[in-house]
Structure 1
Amino acid sequence: MSKVIFVTGAGRGLGTDIARQALAAGHQVVATGRRPEEVEKTLGGPQDNLLATKLDVTSLDDAHAAAQTAVDRFGRIDVLINNAGNFFAGFFEEISPEHMSQQIETNLFGPMNVTRAVLPVMRRQRDGHVITLSSIAGLVGAEFNAAYAASKFGLEGWMESLRYDIAPYNIHTTIVEPGFFRTELLVEASTTWPEPTIDDYAERTTATVEAWKSINGQQPGDPAKLAHALLTIADQDQSPLRFLAGADAIEGATAKAKELLAQAEASRELGGNLSYDDNA
């Protein structure tokens, strides 16, 4: 059944794969990006089922305008795929407050802006599905990921809570946690690499940047297969609350779950006896 699918960050990488496959499957696609003319060109030029429209996810005005343009063109929005994002790498002390704010602004407040603009449409329909791209870094913290993990951990908490707010209106949510996929996240347009500014970190920073750069183009995950999986989820009657994408992500999440269970058990004696003793 044809759906109206709204995709952020559709100009390159995974967003392009999602939009292209959605069009091929007969869906109506709202493909957004900062340069809509380039988005349209990337997807093969003008098409009846394609609306390429401007959207900087950090702009709430852009988000409202894009949502209204989508409704004007197709009459509804069935699926929102929050895909746009970037990566500010580095050890916490070498990430400037400005870069930390930009990371949160794009990866957390960006999806919030777009979702805030789209939810009124879905509530009127009493139907919809919000799919948001997080990362295994939203479950598992890692070296050199302080800003990125902070933005994705925040995204996870927001999405887990949002599902309760909107479930009464038949709007579903799915958090997607990919591992390493051969997307364009590690290209210069998406990643901001730190400059060594603190002597204690300098050698590690230089080595870690080179190690991360060497990964680009060698990641095990196929973004075209991930795009297909996301469209499969969008078509399911019972969509998952969380989708782990990639064997590495599944292994990482499994290890984290075991670690959390062990920490909970280790806290039981000291942490489980902290209630008021009303009979004392």
Structure 2
Amino acid sequence: MDNKKTWFITGASKGFGLSLVRQLLNQGQRVAATSRNLEQLKDVVGTDSPSFLPLQVDLGSDSSVKAAIDRTVETFERIDVVVNNAGYGIGGSIEELSDKESRDSFDINVFGTLHVIRHVMPIMRRQHSGHIFNISSIAGIAANTGWAMYAATKFSIVGLTEVLAEDVREFGVKVTIVAPGAFRTSFLTKESLALPECPIAEYQSVRESHEKYLQMNGQQAGDPEKAAAAIIQTATAAEPPLYLLLGEDAYNRAMRKLEFLAEEFKRSEELARSMAYHG
């Protein structure tokens, strides 16, 4: 990277977030990184470099996020790139998940992202520059059985990011949706994946889907270091993509979804075109 930038990365103590932090610091970039556990974050990154600002943040709290962003600007004077990476998986049918389980997932996966955007945009507008990466998932484009609530949060990220890109273009701010497939991170471990507290035995296809994914843990094809490098490379592009699909599985699922949508939309074409008034 030619110029030193300040990055703000959520969920930085593991997975994509940790890979990003390490690569960026190795490249001489300034990094503000958040985690629920400050000591864990410091331990895994393992540096006291003045270019690294570890921050303990509750992403479900608007005030906690604001304080972290304020601290970042006080320390580094600006924020150039934001990566809304924090989030967790949640499995189960809608009937099986309690209101609290569902709302908790939205609090982190969606509202945590909204909190960051809300407080970073005034900075980027003043700078007339910046790049926001919102980490969704291929499940936010093409969902699978047994992951309705997770898909709901990730579809939300896709929708809000598409509109965000339009809303902030006039300020010189770029926006990218990142949709990874299966990567060899801690995503399928207990610390990153919630399953229903009260499962319903009749949902056999949901149980089978969960079992298939849990068995995949540690065998995923995707390399998180390559994913982090791709995000860093995209941040240098003059015209970055709105959608960044990561992983061959993600690309294939997205293309199958395109074909599915085209077929489904055409099924109702005649009816759709018959809705106009005829006076």
| TMscore range, shorter length | over 0.9
Q: Aligned pair 1:274/2:275, yes or no?
A: yes
Aligned to 2:211: 210
Q: CA deviation at 1:197?
A: 3.6
Deviations 1:28-84 (A, max 9, x none): 001111122321221112112101112121111111101111001100000000000
Q: Is the 8 A contact 2:146 2:205 kept in 1?
A: no
1:211: how far off?
Answer: 2.4
- Indicate the residue corresponding to 2:104 in structure 1: 102
- Matched residue of 2:32: which SS? strand
Structure 2: gaps of 5 or more residues = none
Query: Counterpart in 2 of 1:223?
Result: 224
| C-alpha distance in 2 between matches for 1:49 and 1:217 | 32
Asked if residue 262 in structure 1 is aligned to residue 258 in structure 2, the reply is no
Question: Residue 69 of structure 1 aligns to which amino acid in structure 2?
Answer: R
CA apart distance, 1:264: 2.1
- Counterpart of 1:200 (choices 195, 199, 202) is 202
- RMSD, matched Cα: 1.3
2:178, 2:244 within 8 Å by CA — same for their partners in 1?
Answer: yes
TM-score, normalising length from structure 1? Answer: 0.95
In 2, the alpha carbon distance for the partners of 1:199 and 1:35 equals: 35
The one-letter code sitting in structure 2 at the alignment partner of 1:8 is T
Name the counterpart of 2:122.
120
The separation in 2 between residues aligned to 1:69 and 1:82, in whole angstroms, is 17
Looking at structure 2, the residues matched to 265 and 236 of structure 1 have their Cα atoms a distance apart, in angstroms, of 36
Q: What amino acid is the match of 1:217? A: G
Q: Cα distance, 1:14 vs. partner? A: 1.3
**Residue type of the partner of 1:185?**
F
Match of 1:73 in 2: 75
Deviation at 1:184, TM superposition (A): 1.3
Question: Paired residue for 1:153?
Answer: 155
Match of 1:251 in 2: 252
More moved, 33-42 vs 105-114: 33-42
Could you state the TM-score of these two structures normalised by the residue count of structure 2?
0.96
Match of 1:46 in 2: 48
Q: Contact 1:196/1:205 (CA < 8 Å) preserved in 2?
A: no
1:261 Cα deviation after fit:
1.4
Query: Shift of the alpha carbon at 1:195?
Result: 4.5
Cα deviation digits, residues 210-233 of structure 1 (max 9, x gap):
322111111110111000000001
What is the 5 A alignment of 1:128-143?
Answer: 128-143=130-145
The answer to whether the 8 Å contact 1:194/1:205 transfers is no
Equivalent position of 1:11 in the other structure: 13
Out of 39-48 and 16-25, give the one that drifted further: 39-48
The equivalent position to 2:38 in structure 1, one of 25, 33, 36, is: 36
Q: Secondary structure at the match of 1:237?
A: coil
Q: CA deviation at 1:6?
A: 0.6
CA pair 224-124 structure 1, distance change in 2 beyond 3 A: same
In the TM superposition, what whole-angstrom CA distance separates every residue of 1:102-137 from its partner, at most 9, and x where no partner exists? 111111111011111111111111100000100010
| Distance in 1 (alpha carbons) for counterparts of 2:179 and 2:21 | 19
- In structure 1, the gaps of 5 or more residues are none
What is the aligned length? 277
